């Protein structure tokens, strides 16, 4: 634990430069790996940690604020808009998002906008407005030309439970222990999930720490998925063989003649 804290502190120092604040953040997760089995229907992940004021230097005067950010593996997504064409609603205009987080959960002790000024929030990618999307056919981040697609993207992701913001989601236990719970829904993509924790006070970022977890299929789910991807032809033949077998079996069991 002590060593982890030192590492976290070091990471914090490196990212912050030579600032005077000496608080250290230690972070831990309830699980390093989420395993998807046949009954997987989503699972909570708890992020908790400790703020350790350094005894040697004066600790910060203001109230501590904590923000946590969980980012799923980046993915490229095409967003399509339906328009009425010859009386029928059909996909027409589209926009391709490059490397957008497949999962996004921002939790904080208070309203995100009150934590720090816009510039700092943007750097932390904290809050839906600060994720910073890039598009294949547009220049720069959050190009205003794709605004309606960006809004639609966020709306759909929120509806699917893959994008969440929880102001007040991070709870403090005493002065220095914090925790929050992030719900990982069943449709969360598999892969590497990055967890970042930010310690703020008086609108300033004074420490940060990170951790990660993975979501992986296990058992037959993993076997079937890999089988279908690596040996697609044989997988297809096996599906057909299963179908023929069940058809034959049904004929034997329910034979009427």
Partner 1 sequence: MSTRRSNSIRRSPVLIYLPIAEISVNMLIIVGMGGAVGFLSGLFGIGGGFLLTPLLIFSGIPPVISVATVASQIVASSASGALSYWRRNMIDVKLAAVLLIAGVGGSGIGITVFGALRRLGQLDLIISLAYVTFLGLVGGLMLTESVRAILNAKRGRPAPLRRPGQHIWIHGLPFKMRFKRSKLYVSAVPIVVLGFGIGFLGTLLGIGGGFIMVPALIYLLRVPTNLVIGTSLIYIVGTMSMATILHAMSSQAVDFVLALILMIGGVVGAQFGARIGQNLRGDHLRALLALLILGVGVRFLGGLVTIPDELFSLTVLEGLLP
* Residues 147, 151, 152: CA angle, nearest 5 degrees: 115
From candidates 48, 104, 135, 153, binder to partner 1 by CB under 8 A:
153
Q: Which of 13, 35, 50, 75 binds partner 1 (CB under 8 A)?
A: 75
The CB-of-173 to partner 1 minimum distance in angstroms stands at 17
99 binds partner 1 (CB under 8 A): no
Tokens of 38: 């046949």
CA 158 – CA 187 distance, rounded (Å):
12
Handedness of CA 17, 19, 22, 25 (dihedral sign): negative
Q: Choose, by CB under 8 A, the member of 6, 19, 31, 91 that binds partner 1.
A: 91
- For position 173 contacting partner 1 by CB under 8 A, the verdict is no
Residues 174-213 that bind partner 1 (CB under 8 A): 181-183, 186-187, 189-190
Stretch that binds partner 1, among 21-29, 50-58, 90-98, 195-203 (CB under 8 A): 90-98
b/e sequence 52-85, b meaning 16+ C-beta within 10 Å: bbeeeeeebeeebbbbbbbbbbbeebebeeeeee
**Contact between 94 and partner 1 per CB under 8 A:** yes
* Smallest separation (angstroms) from partner 1 to the CB of 32: 19
Radius of gyration of the chain (CA): 24
| Measured distance CA(235)–CA(212) in Å, rounded | 33
Name the pairing type of β-strands 104-108 and 163-167. parallel
Judged by CB under 8 A, which of 25, 34, 36, 206 binds partner 1? 36
Taking the least distance from each CB to partner 1, the nearer of 53 and 145 is 145
User: Does 125 interact with partner 1 (rule: CB under 8 A)?
Assistant: no
Judged by CB under 8 A, the residue of 13, 28, 43, 216 near partner 1 is 43
Which of 130, 128, 112, 125 is CA-nearest to residue 200? 112
Query: Does 147 help bind partner 1 (rule: CB under 8 A)?
Result: no
- Cβ contact 66:170 at 8 Å: yes
**Nearer CB in complex with partner 1: 39/56:** 39
Binding-site string for partner 1 from residue 238 to residue 257, where x marks contact by CB under 8 A and - marks none: xxx-xxx-xxxxxx--xxxx
Cα distances (Å, whole numbers) of residue 155 to 158, 218, 254: 5, 31, 50
Q: Which of 96, 120, 172, 216 binds partner 1 (CB under 8 A)?
A: 96
Nearer to partner 1, 143 or 228 (CB): 228
């Amino acid at each position: 634990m002590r060593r982890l804290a030192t590492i976290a502190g070091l990471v914090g120092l490196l990212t912050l430069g030579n600032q005077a604040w000496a608080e250290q953040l230690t972070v831990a997760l309830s699980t390093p790996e989420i395993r998807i089995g046949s009954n997987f229907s989503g699972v909570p992940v708890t992020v908790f940690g400790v703020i350790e004021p350094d005894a040697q230097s004066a600790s910060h005067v203001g109230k501590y604020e904590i923000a946590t950010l969980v980012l799923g593996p980046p993915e490229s997504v095409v967003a399509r808009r339906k328009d009425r064409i010859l009386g029928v609603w059909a996909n027409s205009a589209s926009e391709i998002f490059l490397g957008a987080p497949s999962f996004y959960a921002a939790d904080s002790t208070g309203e995100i906008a009150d934590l720090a000024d816009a510039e700092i929030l943007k750097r932390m990618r904290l809050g839906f407005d600060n994720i910073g999307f890039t598009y294949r056919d547009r220049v720069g981040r959050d190009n205003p030309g794709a605004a309606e697609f960006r809004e639609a993207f966020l709306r759909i992701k929120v509806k699917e439970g893959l994008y969440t913001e929880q102001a007040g989601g991070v709870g403090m236990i005493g002065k220095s222990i914090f925790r929050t719970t992030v719900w990982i829904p069943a449709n969360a993509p598999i892969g590497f999930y990055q967890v970042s924790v930010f310690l703020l006070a008086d609108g300033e970022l004074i420490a940060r720490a990170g951790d990660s977890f993975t979501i992986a299929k296990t058992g037959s789910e993993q076997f079937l998925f890999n089988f279908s991807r690596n040996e697609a032809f044989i997988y297809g033949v096996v599906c057909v063989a299963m179908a023929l077998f069940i058809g034959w079996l049904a004929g034997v069991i329910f034979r009427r003649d």
